[in-house]
Amino acid sequence: MHLVCLDLEGVLVPEIWIAFAEAAGIPEFRRTTRDEPDYDKLMRFRIDLLKRHNLKLPDIQRVIGGMDPLPGAAEFCAKLRELTQLVILSDTFEQFAKPLMAKLDYPTLFCNSIITAEDGTVTGYTLRQRDGKKHAVAAFKSINLRVFAAGDSFNDLKMINEAEGGCLFRAPEKIRRDYPHIPCVESFDELFGQIEEFVNRA
């Protein structure tokens, strides 16, 4: 049996923090896991920036409420689920992702949680598990699933390397250059082709 594990932001939906940066007019929020491989460092930076600008979880959720999946993403997910099983492994937060999951017809999502004060101030976050994407793929393999993984950022590399098959999707040039052994595709048609080939090899 096969399973496809995909990253969420940058693969199926736009980068939430980039959309928030544009809505808030604060370019510093544009920094993502494409730019910063240390997730703890990145989140500490974001939480500090939210406090400095007196921005809270409802401010972020209002922006997310107006977002849609990337063009073609919903159709890709529907087609993929006819072929095999799909799980989204993301470092986003459950408080962010729910409206976007509805627009993708509710695929299974494993992600993290935001910690807030009563007034909505973001005070921290809880990881489901450190290196959770890699460990999830390893756990799926342990029950004899053959796993294909794809993502676009530094935090996707371990799960791609752990899987039996995988690729990058629209990854930035630095990641492509530093990890030339991982193929990179640019369209949902190409990604589906990689997955279909993997499934048919079994």
Residue 9 per-residue DSSP state: B
pLDDT in tens, 66-84: 999 999 999 999 999 999 9
Residue 63 has pLDDT above 80, yes or no: yes
Q: Give per-residue pLDDT as tens, 182-196.
A: 999 999 999 999 999
Please report the pLDDT score of residue 59 as a whole number.
96
Does residue 149 contact residue 156 with C-beta atoms inside 8 Å?
A: yes
Catalytic residue numbers, as ranges: 7, 9
- Give the residue from 130, 127, 125, 94 showing the smallest Cα distance to 16: 94
**Consecutive H or E run containing 112:** strand 108-116
User: Is residue 31 included in any domain, yes or no?
Assistant: no
pLDDT value at position 37? Answer: 83
Establish if 37 belongs to a structural domain: no
Is residue 26 assigned to a domain?
A: no
Compute the mean pLDDT over every residue in the chain, rounded to the nearest whole number.
Answer: 94
pLDDT at position 199, please?
Answer: 95
DSSP 8-class letter at 70: P
pLDDT tens string 128-185:
888 899 999 999 999 999 999 999 999 999 999 999 999 999 999 999 999 999 999 9
Residue 90 in domain:
yes
Give residue 33's pLDDT band: very low, low, confident or very high (50, 70, 90).
Answer: confident
pLDDT surpassing 80 at residue 202:
no
Print the domain residue range for 190: 2-15+67-201
| pLDDT for res 13 | 97
Would you say residue 40 lies in a domain? no
Whether 193 maps to a domain, the answer reads yes
Tally of domains in the chain: 1
Residue 28 placed within a domain:
no
Residue 73 lies in a domain: yes
Q: What is the domain-level CATH number for residue 163?
A: 3.40.50.1000
Cβ atoms within 10 Å, residue 81: 13
